[in-house]
Amino acid sequence: MTNVQGVSLDLPTPDGTADAYFAHPDDGAPHPGVLLYMDAFGLRPRLEEMARRLAGHGYAVLVPNVLHRAGRAPLVELPEHINPAERPELFHQLMPLIEALTPELAMRDAGAYLDWLAASPLVADGPVGATGYCMGGVLALRTAAAYPDRVAAVGSFHAGRLVTEAEDSPHRLLDRITAELYFGHADQDASLPTEQIQALERALDVAGIRYRSELYEGAHHGYTQADTAAYNAEASERHWQALLDLFGRTL
Protein backbone atom coordinates (compact mmCIF):
# COMPACT_ATOMS: atom_id res chain seq x y z
CA MET A 1 0.00 0.00 0.00
CA THR A 2 1.35 3.42 -0.94
CA ASN A 3 0.78 6.66 0.94
CA VAL A 4 -2.21 8.58 -0.32
CA GLN A 5 -3.57 12.10 -0.32
CA GLY A 6 -7.24 13.00 -0.25
CA VAL A 7 -8.80 16.35 -1.04
CA SER A 8 -12.32 17.76 -1.21
CA LEU A 9 -12.96 19.75 -4.37
CA ASP A 10 -15.60 21.35 -6.57
CA LEU A 11 -15.88 20.33 -10.20
CA PRO A 12 -17.91 21.93 -12.97
CA THR A 13 -20.84 20.14 -14.61
CA PRO A 14 -23.30 21.42 -17.25
CA ASP A 15 -25.79 21.94 -14.41
CA GLY A 16 -23.68 23.65 -11.79
CA THR A 17 -20.89 22.67 -9.44
CA ALA A 18 -20.59 19.19 -7.96
CA ASP A 19 -18.76 18.73 -4.67
CA ALA A 20 -16.47 15.72 -4.75
CA TYR A 21 -13.59 13.92 -3.04
CA PHE A 22 -10.40 12.89 -4.82
CA ALA A 23 -7.86 10.41 -3.43
CA HIS A 24 -4.58 9.49 -5.12
CA PRO A 25 -1.12 8.11 -4.33
CA ASP A 26 1.05 10.97 -3.06
CA ASP A 27 3.97 10.28 -5.42
CA GLY A 28 2.91 13.02 -7.86
CA ALA A 29 2.76 10.48 -10.72
CA PRO A 30 -0.28 9.75 -12.88
CA HIS A 31 -2.27 6.62 -11.96
CA PRO A 32 -5.25 4.88 -13.60
CA GLY A 33 -8.46 6.80 -12.92
CA VAL A 34 -11.46 5.39 -11.10
CA LEU A 35 -14.92 6.90 -10.75
CA LEU A 36 -16.46 5.75 -7.46
CA TYR A 37 -20.24 6.16 -7.33
CA MET A 38 -21.88 6.67 -3.96
CA ASP A 39 -24.78 4.82 -2.37
CA ALA A 40 -27.97 6.65 -1.37
CA PHE A 41 -26.43 8.01 1.85
CA GLY A 42 -23.95 9.95 -0.22
CA LEU A 43 -20.52 11.47 0.01
CA ARG A 44 -19.36 11.06 3.61
CA PRO A 45 -16.36 9.82 5.64
CA ARG A 46 -17.00 6.13 4.85
CA LEU A 47 -16.81 6.70 1.08
CA GLU A 48 -13.75 8.92 1.48
CA GLU A 49 -12.12 6.09 3.44
CA MET A 50 -12.99 3.62 0.64
CA ALA A 51 -11.51 6.01 -1.95
CA ARG A 52 -8.27 6.24 0.05
CA ARG A 53 -8.05 2.47 0.38
CA LEU A 54 -8.44 2.08 -3.39
CA ALA A 55 -5.91 4.86 -4.00
CA GLY A 56 -3.46 2.98 -1.81
CA HIS A 57 -3.42 0.26 -4.47
CA GLY A 58 -2.29 2.74 -7.12
CA TYR A 59 -5.46 4.40 -8.41
CA ALA A 60 -6.64 8.01 -8.69
CA VAL A 61 -10.18 7.90 -7.32
CA LEU A 62 -12.93 10.51 -7.78
CA VAL A 63 -16.10 10.34 -5.63
CA PRO A 64 -18.67 12.92 -6.81
CA ASN A 65 -21.80 13.95 -4.95
CA VAL A 66 -24.20 12.79 -7.67
CA LEU A 67 -27.10 14.58 -5.96
CA HIS A 68 -25.31 17.94 -6.18
CA ARG A 69 -28.40 19.62 -7.69
CA ALA A 70 -30.06 19.23 -4.29
CA GLY A 71 -27.12 20.73 -2.39
CA ARG A 72 -23.73 19.87 -1.00
CA ALA A 73 -23.14 16.66 0.93
CA PRO A 74 -24.40 15.62 3.39
CA LEU A 75 -27.89 16.28 2.07
CA VAL A 76 -29.49 14.88 5.20
CA GLU A 77 -28.22 14.69 8.74
CA LEU A 78 -26.67 11.24 9.10
CA PRO A 79 -26.13 9.44 12.39
CA GLU A 80 -22.67 7.96 12.98
CA HIS A 81 -24.21 4.53 12.55
CA ILE A 82 -26.92 4.43 9.89
CA ASN A 83 -29.79 2.06 10.57
CA PRO A 84 -32.76 2.81 8.30
CA ALA A 85 -35.00 0.62 10.49
CA GLU A 86 -34.45 3.11 13.32
CA ARG A 87 -34.42 6.16 11.03
CA PRO A 88 -37.03 5.53 8.30
CA GLU A 89 -37.25 9.27 7.65
CA LEU A 90 -33.79 9.14 6.01
CA PHE A 91 -35.19 7.32 2.99
CA HIS A 92 -38.28 9.55 2.93
CA GLN A 93 -35.92 12.53 2.65
CA LEU A 94 -33.53 10.95 0.15
CA MET A 95 -35.84 9.10 -2.24
CA PRO A 96 -37.30 12.21 -3.95
CA LEU A 97 -33.74 13.50 -4.53
CA ILE A 98 -32.64 10.15 -5.96
CA GLU A 99 -35.71 9.88 -8.19
CA ALA A 100 -35.09 13.41 -9.51
CA LEU A 101 -31.69 12.26 -10.84
CA THR A 102 -32.88 10.92 -14.19
CA PRO A 103 -30.56 8.72 -16.28
CA GLU A 104 -30.20 11.63 -18.72
CA LEU A 105 -29.04 14.06 -16.01
CA ALA A 106 -26.78 11.44 -14.42
CA MET A 107 -25.04 10.69 -17.71
CA ARG A 108 -24.58 14.37 -18.51
CA ASP A 109 -22.79 14.60 -15.16
CA ALA A 110 -20.82 11.43 -15.88
CA GLY A 111 -19.33 13.12 -18.94
CA ALA A 112 -18.15 15.99 -16.72
CA TYR A 113 -16.65 13.57 -14.17
CA LEU A 114 -14.81 11.67 -16.92
CA ASP A 115 -13.58 14.95 -18.43
CA TRP A 116 -12.27 16.04 -15.04
CA LEU A 117 -10.36 12.76 -14.62
CA ALA A 118 -8.98 13.03 -18.17
CA ALA A 119 -7.73 16.58 -17.51
CA SER A 120 -6.03 15.81 -14.19
CA PRO A 121 -2.23 15.44 -14.32
CA LEU A 122 -2.58 12.86 -11.53
CA VAL A 123 -4.67 10.54 -13.75
CA ALA A 124 -3.01 8.33 -16.36
CA ASP A 125 -4.13 8.51 -19.98
CA GLY A 126 -6.53 5.85 -21.18
CA PRO A 127 -9.85 4.42 -20.07
CA VAL A 128 -10.93 4.46 -16.44
CA GLY A 129 -12.64 2.05 -14.09
CA ALA A 130 -15.95 2.67 -12.35
CA THR A 131 -17.25 1.13 -9.16
CA GLY A 132 -20.60 1.78 -7.54
CA TYR A 133 -22.61 0.80 -4.49
CA CYS A 134 -26.41 0.42 -4.32
CA MET A 135 -27.72 3.17 -6.64
CA GLY A 136 -24.07 3.80 -7.60
CA GLY A 137 -23.82 0.33 -9.12
CA VAL A 138 -26.57 1.28 -11.56
CA LEU A 139 -24.84 4.60 -12.33
CA ALA A 140 -21.52 2.83 -12.98
CA LEU A 141 -23.21 0.49 -15.44
CA ARG A 142 -25.02 3.35 -17.19
CA THR A 143 -21.72 5.26 -17.46
CA ALA A 144 -20.05 2.30 -19.18
CA ALA A 145 -22.95 2.19 -21.67
CA ALA A 146 -22.97 5.95 -22.29
CA TYR A 147 -19.17 6.25 -22.64
CA PRO A 148 -18.00 2.83 -23.88
CA ASP A 149 -14.67 4.11 -25.19
CA ARG A 150 -13.82 5.69 -21.82
CA VAL A 151 -14.73 2.98 -19.28
CA ALA A 152 -12.75 -0.28 -19.28
CA ALA A 153 -14.12 -1.95 -16.15
CA VAL A 154 -17.13 -1.73 -13.85
CA GLY A 155 -17.65 -3.16 -10.38
CA SER A 156 -21.28 -3.11 -9.24
CA PHE A 157 -21.98 -4.05 -5.63
CA HIS A 158 -25.36 -4.64 -3.97
CA ALA A 159 -27.06 -2.70 -6.76
CA GLY A 160 -30.83 -2.99 -7.02
CA ARG A 161 -33.24 -2.57 -9.91
CA LEU A 162 -30.76 -3.65 -12.60
CA VAL A 163 -33.66 -5.29 -14.47
CA THR A 164 -36.89 -3.31 -14.76
CA GLU A 165 -39.72 -2.86 -17.24
CA ALA A 166 -38.41 0.59 -18.21
CA GLU A 167 -37.26 1.30 -21.78
CA ASP A 168 -33.88 2.36 -20.41
CA SER A 169 -33.53 -0.39 -17.79
CA PRO A 170 -29.81 -1.01 -17.17
CA HIS A 171 -30.03 -4.53 -18.62
CA ARG A 172 -31.24 -3.12 -21.93
CA LEU A 173 -28.08 -1.02 -22.32
CA LEU A 174 -25.61 -3.89 -22.16
CA ASP A 175 -25.06 -4.16 -25.92
CA ARG A 176 -23.38 -0.70 -25.81
CA ILE A 177 -20.82 -1.72 -23.19
CA THR A 178 -17.24 -2.72 -24.01
CA ALA A 179 -16.00 -2.80 -20.39
CA GLU A 180 -15.44 -5.94 -18.34
CA LEU A 181 -18.10 -6.15 -15.61
CA TYR A 182 -18.19 -7.62 -12.11
CA PHE A 183 -21.36 -7.94 -10.03
CA GLY A 184 -21.32 -8.72 -6.32
CA HIS A 185 -24.98 -9.34 -5.45
CA ALA A 186 -26.27 -9.59 -1.89
CA ASP A 187 -28.46 -12.67 -1.52
CA GLN A 188 -30.58 -10.91 1.15
CA ASP A 189 -31.46 -8.02 -1.17
CA ALA A 190 -35.14 -7.39 -1.83
CA SER A 191 -34.25 -4.83 -4.53
CA LEU A 192 -32.66 -7.54 -6.71
CA PRO A 193 -34.49 -10.88 -6.36
CA THR A 194 -33.13 -14.10 -7.87
CA GLU A 195 -35.22 -13.87 -11.04
CA GLN A 196 -33.80 -10.40 -11.74
CA ILE A 197 -30.24 -11.71 -11.32
CA GLN A 198 -31.01 -14.53 -13.73
CA ALA A 199 -32.54 -12.10 -16.26
CA LEU A 200 -29.45 -9.88 -15.95
CA GLU A 201 -27.12 -12.82 -16.57
CA ARG A 202 -29.13 -13.90 -19.63
CA ALA A 203 -28.88 -10.36 -21.01
CA LEU A 204 -25.13 -10.30 -20.31
CA ASP A 205 -24.69 -13.60 -22.16
CA VAL A 206 -26.69 -12.35 -25.15
CA ALA A 207 -24.62 -9.15 -25.26
CA GLY A 208 -21.42 -11.20 -25.26
CA ILE A 209 -19.85 -9.18 -22.44
CA ARG A 210 -16.93 -10.36 -20.29
CA TYR A 211 -18.40 -10.50 -16.82
CA ARG A 212 -18.62 -12.27 -13.48
CA SER A 213 -21.82 -12.30 -11.47
CA GLU A 214 -21.49 -13.63 -7.93
CA LEU A 215 -23.91 -14.04 -5.06
CA TYR A 216 -22.62 -13.08 -1.61
CA GLU A 217 -24.41 -15.41 0.78
CA GLY A 218 -25.74 -13.91 3.98
CA ALA A 219 -25.05 -10.36 2.74
CA HIS A 220 -27.64 -7.60 2.82
CA HIS A 221 -28.19 -4.60 0.54
CA GLY A 222 -25.39 -2.23 1.57
CA TYR A 223 -22.92 -4.86 2.87
CA THR A 224 -19.83 -2.79 1.94
CA GLN A 225 -20.79 0.23 4.03
CA ALA A 226 -19.13 0.02 7.46
CA ASP A 227 -21.17 2.90 8.86
CA THR A 228 -24.51 1.13 8.28
CA ALA A 229 -26.47 -1.71 9.86
CA ALA A 230 -26.14 -3.68 6.59
CA TYR A 231 -22.34 -3.97 6.88
CA ASN A 232 -20.85 -7.44 6.55
CA ALA A 233 -17.09 -7.44 7.09
CA GLU A 234 -16.50 -10.77 5.32
CA ALA A 235 -18.56 -9.81 2.26
CA SER A 236 -16.91 -6.38 2.17
CA GLU A 237 -13.41 -7.90 2.10
CA ARG A 238 -14.55 -10.25 -0.68
CA HIS A 239 -15.73 -7.19 -2.63
CA TRP A 240 -12.30 -5.55 -2.26
CA GLN A 241 -10.55 -8.64 -3.57
CA ALA A 242 -12.89 -8.87 -6.57
CA LEU A 243 -12.59 -5.16 -7.35
CA LEU A 244 -8.79 -5.11 -7.14
CA ASP A 245 -8.57 -8.24 -9.33
CA LEU A 246 -10.86 -6.61 -11.90
CA PHE A 247 -8.95 -3.31 -12.02
CA GLY A 248 -5.62 -5.15 -11.98
CA ARG A 249 -6.64 -7.03 -15.14
CA THR A 250 -8.19 -4.13 -17.01
CA LEU A 251 -6.53 -0.86 -15.96
Give yes or no for a cis peptide into 74 (omega within 30° of 0). yes
- Residue 76's contacts (CB-CB under 8 Å, 6 or more residues apart) are 90, 93, 94
- Alpha helix positions (H), the chain: 45-55, 89-100, 103-119, 135-146, 194-207, 233-250
162: pLDDT strictly greater than 90: yes
Crossing angle for the helix pair 135-146 and 103-119, to the nearest 10 degrees: 70
Active site residue 26: no
Distance CA 96, CA 93 (A): 7
- Each residue's pLDDT tens digit, 48-69: 999 999 999 999 999 999 999 9
Task: Return the pLDDT at 86.
Answer: 85
Catalytic hit among 24, 134, 227, 239: 134
Distance CA 58, CA 52 (A): 10
Distance CA 154, CA 143 (A): 9
Catalytic hit among 109, 171, 185, 189: 189
Domain range enclosing 83: 4-250
Q: What is the CATH number of the domain that holds 218?
A: 3.40.50.1820
Active site residue 189: yes
Task: Return the pLDDT at 14.
Answer: 95
Q: How many domains does the chain have?
A: 1
Active site residue 134: yes
